[in-house]
Amino acid sequence: MSGRGQRQGRGGGGTPRGGAVARGGGPAIRGGPAGTVARGPAGAPSLPAAHVQSVGVKRKGFGTSGQAIEVWTNHFAVDIPQNIIRHYDAITPSEQSLPLKLNMDLIRHLQEVIAPQVFTPPAVYDGRKNMFAARELPFTEGSMTFDVSLPQQPTTTGAPPTRSPKVYKIKITKVAEINPEITTRFLEGKQSHDNEILTTITALNVVVRHEPTMQWPFNVRSFFTDRETVDIGSGIVLWRGYFQSVRPGQGRMYMNIDISTGAMYRPGSLIELMLDFLGRPLDRPMLLAPSKGFPEREHSRVQRFLHGAKIKTSDSGSPRSINKLSKTGANNLRFQLRDGPTLTVAQYFMQTYNRTLKYPDLPCVELYSGALIPLEMCTVPPGQIMRKQVPPERTKAVLEFATKKPHERLASIREGLGVLQYGQSEYVRQFGLHVNEQSVSIKARVLPPPTLKYGVGSKQPTITPRDGGWNMIDKKFYKPQPISRWAWIIYEREQRFNGATANAAVANMIKACRSVGMVIADEHPEITWHNPQGNVFDHVKQVGGAVRQKTRGNPELLVFVLPEGATDTYTAIKHVGDVLLGVATQCLKSSKAFRANDQYFANVCLKLNVKLGGINTIPDSRSVSILSDPHNPTIVMGADVIHPAAHSEGRPSYTALVANVDSDHAKYVATSRVQTSRQEMIDDLADMAEEVIKKFIGYRKNMEKVANTAPKRIIFYRDGVSEGQFKQVLEKELPLLQEACKRVGVKPNITVIVVGKRHHVRFFPKNPQDADRSGNCRAGTVVDTDIAHPTEFDFYLQSHGGLLGTSRPAHYNVLHDENSFTVDGLQSLSFALCHVYARSTRSVSIPAPVYYADIVCSRAKNHYSPDSNLDFSESQTAEGSQNTSQLQAYKQGFKPLHANSSYVMYFS
């Protein structure tokens, strides 16, 4: 799935220069002893002082409901330093956008070779603009400018460098002094979060990251070592890495450490890398020769894969970046020498270096300078991060490498301290940092799960989930939707999915539907076979005509059987069903539907019922007291934004808003929009919210027949927002939500909660009896002390049962609360909403409306006609003014849902 864009530091303006990371980023400092959290008179964690200001809602208390337990967490106590830290700007005036690695190399050379007498002990640097020193640097007027040039690496042939090294002017200026005492007050809840505290946390992170980033490949806050690697094919080698981030907790600072995974280019011969990526034998380089039939599509694929990768050549010791690949071989690729003749690349190397190319038919690498290098002269240096999406066929291998059971992950994290070696780092020692070697044990609670209600005819009308799961044996849907008119369209070859197989699949689906209360009137639906390369709309029209002739009505449901890899066909089906015709569609993989067991079709029924307008289950009113108050009708909304993948310039971002329309908070509607690429704030939120509020009012009036149709409360769950964007949510999105209410003429109290999953906080059961069968903490584990924010209302909730690997809790930040909900109330509500996800009989990791919003975003391309000619490949790029015109093209091509689809959970 496409990435969600860059996450930023906490706070509004005033972040440290170069984009500091808020509330996270490095290790700790020696000061007081590694004590415990500040406690109040009764031993409970202290609340922030009255004068303290916060971005979101200030912490009002701590939860008490649930079973008290203790858990390990991947946090290590950090001591706060006593000494002043000096903050400097490191500026290269004419080089504002140098690569981070080059910046690091320049500063290192400056400190170690050019001016070691100035930088003793050496300062630390973030690779952009921030430099921090443990002592005052001896500048006469607060700044100093240095001329720095990096030594040229010798060529592999021993030839002298052809030009003198480039000289960079670097100006270093003192900008501030940081007093760690202010950070101590912030951790104790006695000081508001401000830019100085942010800069202190940034400084600590830069200190601990400085040495690893000088030694190993790194990516934002993780670095990777070659101690544990695996070659997964497709030209990719995985390296084990470590994430590290200093984070403020309640009463003290913590180091958050986690294991991570880096995908690297396969080192060695570039020719072998290309063959490996394409899945070709490594000993057949001529498969890459354009003159021998190397396909244009394969050429484009491998060119996208290699774009920006660094290679070394036999005539230069310095790595250089690939721009593209030539479309002809070195023996046919011609260029003109300056004031000289026109030569092929092969002729040039023969005349200049007396070198006969072994593979003159192979294409050349073109560097950004325009230089052309034959493939056989190129090697790929090890430890080079591959910043492209891993091919889908390698995702399983990545997951296998990255996934570790909870006890294995905690052991790896603890062992990681030996790799990080904070105590042996010159930089960590000189700043007086100290990281405790024992991971922290903290108090947690396990919330009771909600009771779920099923429909009439169920032997067990209510059920209480256990470890995040339950089953539907002998249960009927709360509101099963009947099917009167339906048909099957099979896109698999009839030889592989014949009539008998199709009839068996139909019978199994009917059986599954009836077992959950869904009545199917037609036991012999129309079944037709079609070519998946054909026109889906024409096929549906043909089948629809047959259904009308048979039943005198349009089909309510179309079931499609698809072969493997039919992604384009699936997209076309959803466009026809959701956008053009407003008919429910259900796609089945032929490999799954072929002799499928009862469980498979039971899972299909979960999706079918809500697509048709039914309701599978509802939370018992006593489990969600916040939502069940008849005097305070409540809308729960989920909102999300999805961004294009890196390097996909010109493609837009997509937004989604999902909201319940029923009083039981189990039936949701959705709306989606297109907006500027990589913009996180939702531009059209007012229009989108107005739409769903009107549907809420209409459903209550026309379907539920209640008197008080207007919402009195809105609970707005927002996904995908970084801590640095919280203020923007309050300043931009909250007013748009209020504007929507004003347009409709309602005045509900609004609560805004950000739900985050992009973090590295993990919990591990301390006692075996507190673990589920996977070894994870049990569903409902909540933490709002110790590692939570010192002043703001936040909590971590692990709401789902474990399956594979180590479960990740969701992080909830309450930014705005006009409803004055209690801590226990919001935690229990969020947990209950994780149980109404219609597609499974397991609780999910985030509240259902947020989960649905994520799904709606990912389905955005279904709104475009298959004939639109818009490019949805991850590699699409555009430059300059093309971006604006392409955005307009995507907006104009984005078709709204059919009216029939807009009132049901078509996205399930």
Residues contacting 237, CB < 8 A, separation 6+: 229, 230, 231, 263, 264, 265, 266, 267
As a whole number of angstroms, the distance between CA 544 and CA 569 comes to 18
- Comparing 353 with 820, the larger pLDDT belongs to 820
Are 666 and 685 in contact by the 8 Å Cβ rule? The answer is no
Q: Which DSSP symbol is given to 574? A: H
Per-residue CA distances from 784 to 88, 248, 781 (Å): 36, 13, 10
- Report CA dihedral (269, 271, 277, 282) to the nearest 10 degrees: -90
Which of 4-8, 144-148, 399-403 shows the lowest mean pLDDT across its residues? 4-8
User: Over the stretch 635-675, which tens digit does the pLDDT of each residue have?
Assistant: 999 999 999 877 677 789 999 999 999 999 999 999 999 99
Please check the confidence at residue 446 and state whether its pLDDT lies above 70: yes
In this prediction, residue 598 carries a pLDDT of 87
As a whole number of angstroms, the distance between CA 848 and CA 207 comes to 40
Are 267 and 381 in contact by the 8 Å Cβ rule? The answer is yes
DSSP 58-102: BP------SEEEEEEEEEEEEPPP-S-EEEEEEE-TT-TT--HHH
User: Over the stretch 75-86, which tens digit does the pLDDT of each residue have?
Assistant: 999 998 889 999
User: Over the stretch 691-706, which tens digit does the pLDDT of each residue have?
Assistant: 999 999 999 999 999 9
- Comparing 795 with 3, the larger pLDDT belongs to 795
As a whole number of angstroms, the distance between CA 777 and CA 72 comes to 10
Please check the confidence at residue 44 and state whether its pLDDT lies above 60: no
Q: Which phi and psi (to 5°) does residue 172 adopt?
A: -115, 125
Are 381 and 273 in contact by the 8 Å Cβ rule? The answer is no
- Report CA dihedral (854, 859, 860, 863) to the nearest 10 degrees: -150
Which of 33-42, 175-184, 776-785 shows the lowest mean pLDDT across its residues? 33-42
In this prediction, residue 316 carries a pLDDT of 67
Give the H or E element holding residue 209.
helix 195-215
Average pLDDT score over residue span 197-224: 91
Tokens representing 567 are: 């992604």
In this prediction, residue 26 carries a pLDDT of 36
Task: Of 894, 908, 900, give the one whose Cα is nearest residue 684.
Answer: 894
- Comparing 51 with 353, the larger pLDDT belongs to 51
DSSP 845-873: SS-HHHHHHHHHHHTGGGGS-TTS----S
- Residue 872 confidence class, pLDDT cut points 50, 70, 90: low
In this prediction, residue 527 carries a pLDDT of 96
Are 783 and 74 in contact by the 8 Å Cβ rule? The answer is no
Per-residue CA distances from 453 to 463, 616, 619, 667, 828 (Å): 7, 9, 6, 14, 17
Please check the confidence at residue 30 and state whether its pLDDT lies above 60: no
In this prediction, residue 8 carries a pLDDT of 38
- How many residues make up the chain in this entry? 908
Are 849 and 837 in contact by the 8 Å Cβ rule? The answer is no
Q: Which phi and psi (to 5°) does residue 559 adopt?
A: -105, 130
As a whole number of angstroms, the distance between CA 657 and CA 641 comes to 9
Place of tokens 């347009």: 743
Tell me the one-letter amino acid at 870. L
Q: Which DSSP symbol is given to 633? A: -
Tell me the one-letter amino acid at 240. R
The fraction of the chain above a pLDDT of 90, given in percent, is: 75
In this prediction, residue 221 carries a pLDDT of 84
Task: Of 831, 810, 830, give the one whose Cα is nearest residue 762.
Answer: 810
Q: Where are the alpha helices (DSSP H) in 625-782?
A: 625-628, 685-702, 726-728, 734-744
Cβ atoms < 10 Å from Cβ of 424 = 9
- Residue 177 confidence class, pLDDT cut points 50, 70, 90: very high
Please check the confidence at residue 184 and state whether its pLDDT lies above 50: yes
Give the H or E element holding residue 232.
strand 222-233
Please check the confidence at residue 157 and state whether its pLDDT lies above 80: no
In this prediction, residue 869 carries a pLDDT of 75
What angle, 0 to 180 degrees and rounded to 10, lies between the N-to-C axes of helices 296-306 and 270-278? 120
Residues contacting 840, CB < 8 A, separation 6+: 603, 606
What angle, 0 to 180 degrees and rounded to 10, lies between the N-to-C axes of helices 567-574 and 536-551? 50
Q: Which phi and psi (to 5°) does residue 700 adopt?
A: -65, -35
Give the H or E element holding residue 231.
strand 222-233
Are 239 and 229 in contact by the 8 Å Cβ rule? The answer is yes
Average pLDDT score over residue span 1-21: 39
Average pLDDT score over residue span 408-424: 88
In this prediction, residue 1 carries a pLDDT of 40
Average pLDDT score over residue span 836-863: 96
In this prediction, residue 883 carries a pLDDT of 61
As a whole number of angstroms, the distance between CA 66 and CA 269 comes to 58
Please check the confidence at residue 549 and state whether its pLDDT lies above 80: yes
Average pLDDT value for the chain: 89
User: Over the stretch 260-308, which tens digit does the pLDDT of each residue have?
Assistant: 999 999 999 999 999 999 999 999 999 999 999 999 999 999 999 999 9
Please check the confidence at residue 42 and state whether its pLDDT lies above 70: no
Please check the confidence at residue 489 and state whether its pLDDT lies above 90: yes
As a whole number of angstroms, the distance between CA 588 and CA 767 comes to 43
As a whole number of angstroms, the distance between CA 835 and CA 845 comes to 9
Tokens representing 276 are: 């490996």
Across 38-47, 55-64, 87-96, the highest mean pLDDT is recorded for 55-64
Please check the confidence at residue 395 and state whether its pLDDT lies above 90: yes
In this prediction, residue 317 carries a pLDDT of 67
As a whole number of angstroms, the distance between CA 125 and CA 137 comes to 14
In this prediction, residue 873 carries a pLDDT of 59
Per-residue CA distances from 45 to 123, 254, 565, 829 (Å): 37, 16, 54, 23
Task: Of 422, 415, 419, 405, give the one whose Cα is nearest residue 439.
Answer: 415
Task: Of 627, 623, 584, 625, give the one whose Cα is nearest residue 607.
Answer: 584
Which of 477-486, 842-851, 886-895 shows the lowest mean pLDDT across its residues? 886-895
Which of 88-102, 245-259, 691-705 shows the lowest mean pLDDT across its residues? 88-102
- Residue 93 confidence class, pLDDT cut points 50, 70, 90: low
Per-residue CA distances from 21 to 18, 407, 722, 821 (Å): 10, 30, 11, 31
Cβ atoms < 10 Å from Cβ of 457 = 13
Per-residue CA distances from 93 to 111, 167, 169 (Å): 19, 12, 7
Per-residue CA distances from 377 to 200, 236, 314, 749, 826 (Å): 48, 21, 6, 67, 62
Q: Taking CA 390 as the corner, what is the angle to CA 389 and CA 396, rounded to the nearest 5 degrees?
A: 140
Q: Which DSSP symbol is given to 729? A: I
Q: Which phi and psi (to 5°) does residue 741 adopt?
A: -65, -40
Average pLDDT score over residue span 314-337: 87
The three-state secondary structure class of 793 is coil
Q: Where are the alpha helices (DSSP H) in 113-156?
A: none
Please check the confidence at residue 605 and state whether its pLDDT lies above 50: yes
- pTM equals 0.90
